[in-house]
Amino acid sequence: MIDSHELYIEQSIYQNIDQVVDVAARGFRFEEQAIMFDFNTETFGIRMQVEEDLNIKGIRRFADYAVPRWYDIRLQPPEFEQTPYMNILRAIFHFNQGDCEIVPSTNVINYKKCQMDIDRNIYFVKISCASVEEARKRAIVLAYLTYDMARHLFVKFSSANMLEDPYIFQNIYDCHEMFELEIEEEDIDVKHMLDKQAK
């Protein structure tokens, strides 16, 4: 479980997040994956919403069941007041109290605690959220957008402690295989990329 307000995502996945979400959207999906998301412009809090009707038992499946209870957060679908950041993928990373930065895995992971040898040439994008709860909310939104029902695999935001787990780290390699990505081993200019996309 995410236990920190600081999140990490492998940089090649970050660079190709539009492609990743597009591939996931063309696959077989469950109803709740058709989400919209937006942000509170004062608190930078992410919000998510899906169109749905009451079922025959008077239950809204998304509102009542979509977020796993073990995630330990409340994420109710709100009434939207649309902002310029609505459904903008890069905003999940950049619309925050602090901007992202690129860090090598050696600055993130305590290799002495790892249960297996992990590639030390990988770089991560570090995102600092306002709270652990906000970090978990962003992780859930990214999970919905990238979940593959055939392989039960999705792109994960992870804390530094989570990346010491070989099963969590393996998710990076699995996502590269599923979305046909290559791991970049050199630094990237995050702000330049965002500015280029905005144009």
Q: pLDDT (tens digit, 9 = 90+) per residue, 17-44?
A: 999 999 988 887 776 677 788 888 888 8
**Per-domain residue ranges for the chain?**
6-198
pTM of the model: 0.78
Q: Is the pLDDT of residue 59 over 70?
A: no
Q: Is the pLDDT of residue 110 over 90?
A: no
pLDDT at res. 52 = 57
Residue 46 pairs with which residues in a beta bridge?
39
Strand, helix or coil at 140? helix
CA gap 161, 84 in Å, rounded: 34
Mean pLDDT value across residues 99-111: 87
Residue 9 pairs with which residues in a beta bridge?
125
pLDDT at res. 79 = 56
Q: Residues 6 or more apart from 87 whose CB is under 8 A from it?
A: 36, 37, 38
For 134-155, b where at least 16 C-beta lie within 10 A, e where not — what string?
bbbbbbbbbebbbbbeeeebbb
pLDDT band at 78 (very low <50, low <70, confident <90, very high): low
State what percent of residues in the chain have pLDDT above 90: 33
Around 193, how many Cα atoms within 13 Å sit in the side-chain half-sphere?
20
Strand, helix or coil at 174? helix
